Structure 1
Amino acid sequence: MQTLILGSSSPFRAEVLKKLGIDFIQHAPDIDESVLEGETAPSLVERLAKEKALAIAKDYPEALIIGSDQVAVIDGKILGKPGNHETAVKQLLSASGKAVTFYTGLALYNAQSLTMHHLVEPFTVHFRSLSEKQIHFYLEQEKPYQCAGSFKSEGLGIALFTKLEGDDPNSLIGLPLIKLIELLNKEGVDVLQLNE
């Protein structure tokens, strides 16, 4: 199998990918993640996932490269990573009692054959009505300041929701494994037959 590269600095995406039992190298891409004028959330994450994979290909011209990017959308507005406590409080207050859709762009680039597969996976979370006290308590517990939407669904963040809607809960962590497995299959990698 070609070397597999996860084009991300996210420890959360790396943990998700480890579930597949595949050896991989993690390498952070260096790209501009600014939103282009008039760009929708799905278009943004799809473009950035592809750009991340292509940026890594310069260093690994023989590899299979995974690029991924995620944003949350509430009331039509794109939310990124909060970066600090104050912004996280604002994000969670605005999400309280509402549905928030996360869009994850996923790209798999074969740098050897120059083949690019890509898609966007949506996932919607329905937030409980949250008090400011609950929000501060949650943020102090998990400090999810590098997570789009200001929560970690794999931890205490699950207590923030009334319902989850989507095909793959891994999407919330930024790496939709079900779709990734499909893309790997297109490149001849079957995660159920790696050792045969």
Structure 2
Amino acid sequence: MSSSNNPPLILASTSVYRRELLTRLRIPFEVVSPKVDETPLTGETTLDLALRLANAKAAAVAKIHPDTWVIGSDQVADLCGAAIGKPGNFDRALAQLQLMRGQTITFHTALCLMKNDVHTTLSIPTEVTFRKLSDDVLENYLRAEEPYDCAGSAKSEGLGISLLEAIKSDDPTALIGLPLIALTGLLRDAGFAIPATK
């Protein structure tokens, strides 16, 4: 990454997808695991869950790294009010794709930028409509890409795009896990130069 006079920055995440996305901005950053319990609260909506977890991840890391800007992010997929998590294996992924066949899912991607007591938390919604495809097609996809660490069981940045009929979002990287349009605005407001000066 290029050197710059930007403030220290930490990504509070273990996600390889978020790390890859943040790298696109070409500013130095560190990665620290937030170690946050992601269990939903009773009666919590999917949007509230995403916002709470993004804030909690940033806060957990900001507590041990004071005076440093910390990015927290979380994504919750919503089908008719129910959260759809990461499948973890083939059978659960197939069940998810069968459930979502022909349906429109809302992916709430929440973002928090925090430093000490200063923070901004927001969420970018992405509506994803899945095609009505046969079980054979779904099974072939899962064997080809093995997207078991992705909520919704389909990688839109890969072969999973073939399962989708439409994507509607104001921030195209939100679906992958980190809304860079929103994040760039927050970082600039916090004093970051993007593109960074050499």
TM-score (norm 1): 0.95
Whole-Å separation in 2 of the counterparts to 1:104 and 1:159: 22
- Say which SS state the counterpart of residue 173 (structure 1) adopts: coil
- Runs ≥4 in structure 1, deviation > 4 angstroms? none
The amino acid that maps onto 1:88 is A
List aligned pairs for 1:61-140, cutoff 5 A: 61-111=66-116, 114-140=117-143
- Structure 2 contact 126–175 (Cα < 8 Å) conserved: yes
- Structure 1 contact 68–174 (Cα < 8 Å) conserved: yes
CA displacement, residues 47-97 of structure 1 (integer Å, 9 cap, x when unaligned)? 000000010113311211000000111122110111111111111001111
- Structure 2 contact 46–81 (Cα < 8 Å) conserved: no
The amino acid that maps onto 1:18 is T
TM-score (norm 2): 0.94
The amino acid that maps onto 1:133 is D
Please state if 1:176 is matched with 2:179: yes
User: Following TM superposition, by how much is the alpha carbon of 1:168 offset from its aligned partner in structure 2, in angstroms?
Assistant: 1.4
Whole-Å separation in 2 of the counterparts to 1:108 and 1:79: 25
Is there any run of 5+ residues in structure 1 with no aligned partner, and where? none
The amino acid that maps onto 1:12 is Y
Q: 1:154 aligns with which of 157, 177, 181?
A: 157
Whole-Å separation in 1 of the counterparts to 2:144 and 2:197: 40
Whole-Å separation in 1 of the counterparts to 2:191 and 2:7: 10
The amino acid that maps onto 2:20 is E
Q: 2:190 aligns with which of 187, 190, 195?
A: 187
Please state if 1:48 is matched with 2:48: no
- Structure 1 contact 85–139 (Cα < 8 Å) conserved: yes
Q: 1:2 aligns with which of 1, 7, 13?
A: 7
RMSD (CA atoms): 1.0
- Structure 1 contact 106–175 (Cα < 8 Å) conserved: yes
- Structure 1 contact 181–190 (Cα < 8 Å) conserved: no
- Structure 1 contact 82–91 (Cα < 8 Å) conserved: yes
Whole-Å separation in 1 of the counterparts to 2:92 and 2:80: 17
User: Following TM superposition, by how much is the alpha carbon of 1:104 offset from its aligned partner in structure 2, in angstroms?
Assistant: 0.7
- Say which SS state the counterpart of residue 35 (structure 1) adopts: coil
- Alignment correspondent of 1:58: 63
The amino acid that maps onto 1:83 is G
CA displacement, residues 17-71 of structure 1 (integer Å, 9 cap, x when unaligned)? 1111111111111111010011111110000000000101133112110000001
- Structure 2 contact 7–192 (Cα < 8 Å) conserved: no
Whole-Å separation in 2 of the counterparts to 1:162 and 1:151: 13
- Structure 1 contact 57–65 (Cα < 8 Å) conserved: yes
Whole-Å separation in 1 of the counterparts to 2:194 and 2:77: 29
- Alignment correspondent of 2:16: 11
Q: 1:31 aligns with which of 27, 36, 42?
A: 36
